[in-house]
Amino acid sequence: MNNLPTLYLGELMRLRKYNILSASLFVAILWVGVIYFSEIQELSTIFPLLVFIDATSMAILLIGATMFFEREEGALKTLFISPITRSEYIWAKVSAGISSNLLTLLIIYTYARFFRELDLSFLGLVGAVILISGFHSLVGFLLSYRSRTFTDLLMSMFIYFLALALPVVLDLLGMIESKFLSNLLYLLPTKAAQVLLVGTAGVGETWEIIFSAAYLLILGGILYWFVIKRFTDFAARESGA
């Protein structure tokens, strides 16, 4: 992966060129506004939820948006004549997406830390965001493969969050009273993400945190295999080859 650093810098420039980075910064400011106007005194209860929403939704959107802009510019055609591998291309995008999510985390954490009482492990949050954002960046690839238009991508995202994220959010807010249903959520990758984030506040057992991190890593490895496997067909289709 000798080309990865160059590709990574190129992805960051592309995020800026497409104003995606500006949109991410706007979202970060939006989250700061939510924290500012929030009347919840114990911020540790809502902060993991904000990070959860950002690290999942924005990771998918960043991948989807850049890939659709590349479609319009015909950039995918250059992949067949460029001395880069599929892995380098994918990891560059995933790394850029993670960097964007970490920037958002830094902004909202800095505000919450200095202007509100926040008692969460920053290093724990960084590790959690890297895992969650990386995993959902791969989800973004798979959703982009099957989406003909950006509207299709948004609809796929809506279905994904309705099925996998909404139950976890409801459980985080204490709206799921059934112990059986609450335990069943551990099968979802979004539940693993939630466990990692609330774990930064010292909530949950150590085994839950370790299990959740391992679960995201293993499932992410499986997703990565599918992303690699389907990428060539996707690029060939979009480039008209």
**3-state class (DSSP) for residue 204:** coil
* Structural domain boundaries in the chain: 4-239
The pLDDT tens digits for 16-74 are 888 888 888 898 899 888 888 877 667 777 888 889 999 999 999 999 888 888 777 76
Q: Are 46 and 118 in contact (CB under 8 A)?
A: no
Give the gyration radius of the chain's Cα atoms.
18
Q: Are 43 and 35 in contact (CB under 8 A)?
A: yes
Q: Are 197 and 125 in contact (CB under 8 A)?
A: yes
Q: Are 226 and 142 in contact (CB under 8 A)?
A: yes
Provide the pLDDT for residue 84.
Answer: 78
Low-confidence ranges of the chain (pLDDT < 50): none
Provide the pLDDT for residue 78.
Answer: 66
Provide the pLDDT for residue 75.
Answer: 66
- C-alpha distances (whole Å) from 84 to each of 58, 79, 87, 90, 159 are 26, 7, 8, 10, 33
CA distance 209 to 200: 10
